[in-house]
Structures are given as structure tokens and as C-alpha cells.
Amino acid sequence: MSPVLVISRNPQVVGLVQQAWGPDGYAIAPEQFPDSVQSLLAHLQGAPLPAVAVLDPAEQVMSALSLAVDLDRNFSIASVLVTDRVAEVSLDAMRAGVRDIVTPTAPAEEMKKALERAATHSGPRVTQQQASSVPGAATQRGKVVTVASPKGGVGKTTVSTNLAVGLAQRLPQSTVLVDLDIHFGDVASALNVTSEFTLPDMAHGAAAQDALALKSYLYLHQTGLYVVPGSESPAAADAVTSKDVVNLLDTLATQFKYVVVDTAPGLSEHTLAVLDQTDILVLVTSLDVPGVRGLRKELDTLRDIGLMLESRSVVLNFMHPSRGISVGDVEASIGRKVDFQIPQSNSVPISVNQGIPLLQNGSRDPVAKQLRALVDSVDNADKADAKGRRFLDFGLRKEVAQ
Ligand SMILES: Nc1ncnc2c1ncn2[C@@H]1O[C@H](COP(=O)(O)OP(=O)(O)O)[C@@H](O)[C@H]1O
Ligand SMILES: [Mg+2]
């Protein structure tokens, strides 16, 4: 039978699980109920992770629900909650992905059935080493990676969707993509997502500041990327304030290693609020004079308002020799180097129309190659930062303004 872990300080509950499951059950009795996989690992002392976890938190129900989310989302480990406050906690438990609720005094037969049902939902087993390396379970705050440009139609959504998919493919469930092109966002269409919940549902009310509730609203894309799709209606989007956006990104950064943000053109109030929270900025421009001039003005404005960037990443899109300006011209105009050059290619509109980002289907196209290089540099910027070094040729730093 699948191994079942019971976390409980109540011998009656431990006995119930052993009676229901036999020798494949094992128990720990921590004083503080673990609220994440990381804190659970500290108690397991090298024992393998189970297929099913029985959570008996007594008064620490919120910790148990937080652990249930972590186990389910990151490791497909099913949870059974033990509580005598069934009516009170069942909605939150359901949102946290708990499979079943059993009372501490239930008959062994009931526990057995709950465990059998839960075992059919658990995914492939993970080792402790894999568990430790998953950032969804990490306590460190994630990085906000913002894709912006002064003009529309230059490739922001193309870049942000591919960047997010690329990061998620590297580390499943490490990344969330937020469509903050508030009124006319098209991330959902670029990823072929039809979601019951969109930005206004997630940015308003309790969900925006409650990681547990928020995670239950997110759309899980087949690549392992979580998505906050843009609003269906511009009117509903109007109700989303920049403060809502700040709260939402703050909460997401506690749950994900990367929060990738697609933005509307220009420096709207929402975009400025996002830039203030941004760790890594990716600026996109098309290879034409209005686009490049717009980018120069945006860089000047960011400097003028004190959002000084030590260095940033500039992506030049729609590269084509027939366009009449060169990379050198662009670099001279904006006063810095271009980091990535994405060629103009029919593969882009085709992938957008299919709703399958180029990096999702493993394309070897020259466009995909540049997008992969961008994924590498974001990932490496993060690694450099994690080692305590400053961003090398990448990222947003505000202190330079002093
Ligand atoms: N490198 C490219 N080659 C050809 N078409 C592209 C390229 N990049 C983007 N496009 C197309 O340009 C349009 C605008 O791109 P999009 O990413 O939606 O821009 P934005 O989000 O900045 O408005 C889309 O139809 C997209 O398919
Ligand atoms: Mg867009």
C-alpha cells in the first residue's frame, strides 16, 4: 500500500491511521504544525515523503491548510484533514486541495476509505532532495519580472508569455504570469486559456492578500505555469486599482519564485506601481524609429522619476534587414546596448494564433533561440542575486539614484 504519513500529537488519531492502514503508516508529532514542505522536511529527518498525508493540526488549522496547498501543488501529495470543526473549515479545506475530512473519533473503516480515495489522487513520489529544491516550497521572496514598452504591438505579450513558459518548464510551478494590460490584455488568448477567474476576481477583496485563497483562483496551464488572466471586460478592469495590483503582486511573490508581469503600453499608473515592485525589467521595442524614440523617452522618464536602473535588459523585436535601421543605430539612440535581438518571423503570429507559445512546443526557430537566451539571463540574474552578488548586466536597482 502507498505510504501514509500522519502528523498528529493525538495518540488516538495515530492509532486510527495505523488501524486503517497497517504498517505502511508512519507518524510524527511536531509541537508546531508544519505550514510548508520545507518545515515538514525538518521533522521527517530523512524519511521519504508519503503518498498521502493525514493532517491533524488541532488548533493550528491554517498551518495545515497551507501545508496541504504546498503538498498538493508542488508534489501531488494528497491530504486528509482530521478535525472536529468540519462545517467551519470545509470550504477553506476544499480550496486548499484537501481530499477528505475525518473527525478524530471516526471509525477506522471511515479513515480507511478516506485514505484509499486520497491515494488514488496522489502523483509520482518525490525524493527529499527534489522537495528541497522546489522553490514553490521556499520561504524566500520571489522576483517580479516585468515586461514593458512605451508602444503597443511591439511584442510584450509574445516575450512575457514565452519567458514565463520557459521559466515554468525549468522548474514546474515556480512561476506565475500576471496579465496587467488591464483593459486589453491578451495573455489568455496567447496561452489558449479559458479560466473561470480573471484579474478582478483575484485582485479584489480577501483573495489578493490571502495566499491560500488566491492560489485556488489561479489557472494552472499545461506547462506548469500559473496564470492570472486579464479581465474579460474593460469595465470590470476599471475597478482594479494600482493598490490592488501592488497587493496582488506582493502576495504572489510569497508563493512563486518568479512573478512575470505583462503590461499595457506606456507608463500608466498601474505600470508605475508594478515598476516600483520590479526586480528584473525587460524593455521591448520594435525595430522602427517611433518605437526606438519611445523607448528612449521611457528610459529618460524612469530616470527622471527616480526609478533608476543600474542596468536593464532591452529586447529589440522584429529584426529584419529590410527595416532600414541597424542595431547600431538603435544603440546610439537609446545610449545603451541591446541585449536580445528577436528576428521578425511568421512563426510568432502562427504560435499566437494557435495559442501555443514557441517555447512550449520546443521550437528551434531563431526566435525561440533568443527567447531561450532571455529565460537563461533571467534565471542566471536570479542565481547571481541569490549568491549575494548584485545583478551583473541585468535588473532593476533603485539605490543608484542616491
Ligand atoms: N518577432 C516577430 N515576428 C513577427 N510577428 C511578431 C513578432 N513579435 C510579435 N509579433 C506579432 O506582433 C503582434 C503584436 O505582438 P504582441 O506580443 O501582442 O505585442 P504587445 O503585447 O507589445 O502589444 C502579434 O500579432 C504578434 O504575433
Ligand atoms: Mg500585449
Ligand 2 center from residue 196 Cα (angstroms): 21
Which residue's CA is the nearest one to ligand 1's atom 16? 155
Three-state secondary-structure class, residue 50 = coil
Ligand nearest to the backbone CA of 349: 1
3-state secondary structure 230-252: CCCCHHHHHCCCHHHHHHHHHHH
List, in sequence order, every residue forming a beta bridge with 164; answer none if it has no partner: none
Q: C-alpha cell of 97? A: 486541495
Which residue's CA is the nearest one to ligand 1's atom 23? 153
pLDDT in tens, 249-275: 999 998 899 999 999 999 999 999 999
Q: Which among 39, 75, 74, 73 has a CA at the least distance from the CA of 57? A: 39
Ligand 1 center from residue 263 Cα (angstroms): 14
Which residue's CA is the nearest one to ligand 1's atom 26? 349
Average pLDDT, the chain: 86
Query: Counting atoms of ligand 1 from 1, which one is nearest the CA of 345?
Result: 3
Which residue's CA is the nearest one to ligand 1's atom 3? 344
Which residue's CA is the nearest one to ligand 1's atom 2? 344
Ligand 1 center from residue 184 Cα (angstroms): 14
Ligand 2 center from residue 181 Cα (angstroms): 7
If 0-12 CB within 10 Å is exposed, 13-18 middle and 19+ buried, where does residue 399 land?
A: exposed
Ligand 1 pocket, Cβ-based, cut-off 6 angstroms: 149, 152-158, 317-318, 342, 344-345, 348-349, 352, 367
Cα separation values, 213 from 53, 137, 209, Å = 21, 17, 8
pLDDT at 133 over 70: no
Q: What is the mean pLDDT of residues 154-159?
A: 98
pLDDT in tens, 1-22: 778 999 999 999 999 999 999 8
Alpha carbons 130 and 77: distance in angstroms, whole number: 14
pLDDT higher for 387 or 214? 214
Q: Are 237 and 206 in contact (CB under 8 A)?
A: no
Ligand 2 center from residue 331 Cα (angstroms): 24
Q: C-alpha cell of 193? A: 486559456
Rg (the chain; Cα; Å): 24
Alpha carbons 105 and 117: distance in angstroms, whole number: 19
DSSP string, 254-295: HH-SEEEEEE-SS--HHHHHHHHH-SEEEEEEESSHHHHHHH
Cα separation values, 312 from 131, 153, 171, 338, 398, Å = 33, 21, 24, 10, 12
Ligand 1 site-directed mutation target among 315, 348, 351, 371, most atoms within 8 Å of CB = 348
Ligand nearest to the backbone CA of 340: 1
Q: What is the mean pLDDT of residues 122-143?
A: 57
To 5 degrees, how large is the angle CA 243–CA 194–CA 219?
Answer: 55
pLDDT in tens, 388-397: 333 323 333 3
Query: Counting atoms of ligand 1 from 1, which one is nearest the CA of 367?
Result: 1
Query: Counting atoms of ligand 1 from 1, which one is nearest the CA of 154?
Result: 22
pLDDT in tens, 61-81: 999 999 998 888 777 889 999
List, in sequence order, every residue forming a beta bridge with 343; answer none if it has no partner: 319
Q: Are 251 and 203 in contact (CB under 8 A)?
A: no
pLDDT in tens, 25-56: 888 999 999 998 888 888 887 677 788 999 99
Three-state secondary-structure class, residue 180 = strand
Ligand 2 center from residue 324 Cα (angstroms): 25
Ligand 1 center from residue 255 Cα (angstroms): 30
To 5 degrees, how large is the angle CA 72–CA 74–CA 75?
Answer: 70
Query: Counting atoms of ligand 1 from 1, which one is nearest the CA of 343?
Result: 1
Q: Which domains does the chain have, with CATH numbers?
A: 4-134 (3.40.50.2300), 140-401 (3.40.50.300)
Query: Counting atoms of ligand 1 from 1, which one is nearest the CA of 346?
Result: 4
pLDDT at 308 over 80: no
Query: Counting atoms of ligand 1 from 1, which one is nearest the CA of 152?
Result: 23
Ligand 1 center from residue 199 Cα (angstroms): 22
Ligand 2 center from residue 245 Cα (angstroms): 17
Ligand 1 site-directed mutation target among 146, 157, 158, most atoms within 8 Å of CB = 158
Percent of the chain surpassing pLDDT 90: 59
